[in-house]
Amino acid sequence: MKKFAVATLFVFGERTIQRTFNLKSDGSTLKGTMEMSAGGQSRSTDIKNGKIDGNKFSFSLVQRGKQGERTVLYEGTVEGDELKGTMKPEGQDESRPFTAKKSGS
């Protein structure tokens, strides 16, 4: 995986959140950002601790919200033009599945 721009769209009731991951591998290191837009506001966050091994990836990022900061761990696999995996917020027992599809070239 050299460069992967992927987008996810989450819909919670009447609230829609779009996340775009701009990821680039450098050997076994995964770098990039997550851009998120919701409610007319956008923000960008650098990923941390990014790793890639074959088709497996993992990284974390710090999300800031009304209740402060929390770290979210993302891990999964690259499958063709998609990322499939789980996201697990720090302090929660359950992870949630996610799929992100490659956008652009």
Q: What is the pLDDT of residue 66?
A: 77
Which tens digits make up the pLDDT trace of 46-77?
A: 999 999 999 999 999 998 777 788 899 999 99
For the residues 75-104, what does the mean pLDDT come to?
A: 85
The full set of domain ranges for the chain reads 3-102
| CATH code of the domain occupying 3-102 | 2.40.128.120
Question: What residues does 33 pair with on adjacent strands?
Answer: 22, 46
Q: What is the pLDDT of residue 105?
A: 47
Considering only CA atoms, which of 73, 71, 75, 63 is closest in space to residue 38? 63
CB atoms within 10 A of CB 17: 13
